[in-house]
C-alpha cells in the first residue's frame, strides 16, 4: 500500500492512501491546489515524516501519529457472526474508512477488504447501532453477497437507500450518470453549484417567457437533483415522497399568486 503526505498550502499537511477521495472529494481541493511532499510504502516512515514536515512548515503537529490512529481504528472493529461494527457514527464513517483502505478482516461469511468500491457499499448499507449512536454496523452476509458479485468489477454506489419504488425515468438518469463516472468522481458540492446555475437559467427563461427554455431548465434541474440525492445516499423518489407526505396535510390559502400555509 502506498501512503502519500499531501500539503494544502496555508491549510494543512496530512497523510492518505487515496488522494482523490481524501483531498479532492472530501476536502474540495483539486490537482494544482495541493502538492505531494512524500510517498512511501512504510507506514512507520510516513507517520514520522508527516509530523516532521508539519513542524517544519509551521502547522499544528498531530498528537497521535498516523500509524497509531489507523491501528486504533482497525483494532476497534467488533466482528460477530451477523455484523461488523465500526467505532464511529455514520456521518463520520466514510472518512475513517478511506484511512483504512487495504485493511482486511475475516467473518464467518468470508474475508472482507476496504476498497474505494466497498466503501460505497458500506456507506449505502450501514446502520446506526440501537445501543450507541456513536457506533454503526453492517450485516456480514449482505456484504459477502455484494463482494462475490463485485469481483473483477468497478461498482459505483448504485443501491442507495430508497423507501419507494424506483421510477424508470429516474433510473435512466442514474444509469446515465453512473456510466459517466459522476457517482465515483463527482461530489455534492459541484452538483449544488450546477443546480444554482440551472436555477439561473430557469429564472432568465421565466422572465423572458421562453417556454422551451423553461422546459429545458426544469428538466436539467431535475437531473441535477436526482444526482444530488444519489450522492447523498438516497433516491429522489424518497425525497419527493417525504416532501409530499408533509405538504399533503397542510391547509392554507392563495395570497398574491402563492399558497400560504396556515400557522401551526
DSSP 121-185: HHHHH-EE-SS-TT-EEEEHHHHHHHHHHHTTS---S-S-B-SSPPPHHHHHHHHHHHHTTHHHH
- Evaluate if pTM is beyond 0.85: no
pLDDT of residue 58: 92
pLDDT tens-digit series, residues 94-143: 877 877 777 788 888 888 888 878 888 999 999 998 888 888 999 999 99
pLDDT of residue 252: 74
pLDDT band for 225, please (50, 70, 90 cuts): very high
- Please tell me which residue, 33 or 75, carries the higher pLDDT value: 33
Q: In 3-state terms, what secondary structure has residue 221?
A: helix
pLDDT band for 13, please (50, 70, 90 cuts): very high
pLDDT at 215 over 70: yes
- Please tell me which residue, 13 or 194, carries the higher pLDDT value: 13
Residues 39, 3: contact at Cβ < 8 Å? yes
DSSP characters for 59-119?
Answer: PPPPSS-HHHHHHHHHHT-EE-SSEEEESS-HHHHHHHHHTTTT-EEEETTEEEE--HHHH
pLDDT of residue 170: 86
Residue range 11-23: average pLDDT?
Answer: 84
- Please tell me which residue, 240 or 155, carries the higher pLDDT value: 240
Question: How far apart are alpha carbons 85 and 264 in whole angstroms?
Answer: 41
pLDDT band for 66, please (50, 70, 90 cuts): confident
pLDDT tens-digit series, residues 30-48: 878 899 999 888 888 998 9
Across 10-14, 71-75, 245-249, which has the greatest mean pLDDT?
Answer: 10-14
Least confident of 3-17, 56-70, 75-89, 140-154: 140-154
Residue 36 sits at φ, ψ, to 5 deg, of -95, 120
Residue range 54-73: average pLDDT?
Answer: 77
pLDDT of residue 169: 83
Average pLDDT of every residue of the chain: 82
pLDDT at 218 over 90: yes
pLDDT of residue 43: 85
pLDDT of residue 154: 37
pLDDT of residue 98: 77
pLDDT tens-digit series, residues 146-193: 887 764 443 344 444 454 556 778 888 988 888 888 888 777 888 888
Amino acid at each position: 500500500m502506498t501512503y502519500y503526505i499531501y500539503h494544502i498550502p496555508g491549510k494543512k499537511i496530512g497523510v492518505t492512501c487515496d488522494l482523490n477521495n481524501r483531498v479532492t472529494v472530501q476536502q474540495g481541493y483539486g490537482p494544482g491546489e495541493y502538492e505531494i511532499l512524500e510517498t512511501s510504502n512504510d507506514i512507520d516512515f510516513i507517520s514520522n515524516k508527516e509530523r516532521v514536515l508539519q513542524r517544519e512548515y509551521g502547522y499544528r503537529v498531530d498528537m497521535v501519529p498516523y500509524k497509531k490512529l489507523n491501528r486504533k481504528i482497525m483494532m476497534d472493529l467488533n466482528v460477530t457472526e451477523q455484523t461488523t461494527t465500526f467505532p464511529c457514527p455514520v456521518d463520520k464513517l466514510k472518512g475513517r474508512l478511506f484511512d483504512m483502505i487495504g485493511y482486511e478482516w475475516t467473518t464467518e461469511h468470508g474475508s472482507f477488504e476496504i476498497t474505494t468500491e466497498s466503501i460505497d457499499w458500506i456507506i449505502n448499507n450501514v446502520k446506526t447501532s440501537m445501543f450507541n449512536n456513536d457506533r454503526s454496523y453492517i450485516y456480514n452476509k449482505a456484504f459477502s453477497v455484494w463482494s462475490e458479485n463485485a469481483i473483477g468489477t468497478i461498482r459505483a454506489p448504485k443501491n442507495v437507500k430508497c423507501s419507494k419504488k424506483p421510477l424508470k425515468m429516474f433510473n435512466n438518469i442514474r444509469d446515465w450518470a453512473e456510466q459517466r463516472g459522476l457517482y465515483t468522481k463527482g461530489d455534492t458540492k459541484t452538483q449544488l453549484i450546477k443546480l444554482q446555475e440551472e436555477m439561473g437559467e430557469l429564472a432568465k427563461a421565466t422572465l423572458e417567457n421562453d417556454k422551451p427554455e423553461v422546459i429545458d431548465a426544469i428538466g436539467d434541474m431535475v437531473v441535477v437533483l436526482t444526482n444530488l440525492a444519489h450522492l447523498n445516499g438516497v433516491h429522489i423518489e424518497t425525497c419527493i415522497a417525504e416532501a409530499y407526505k408533509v405538504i399533503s396535510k397542510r391547509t392554507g390559502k392563495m395570497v398574491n399568486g402563492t399558497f400560504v400555509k396556515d400557522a401551526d
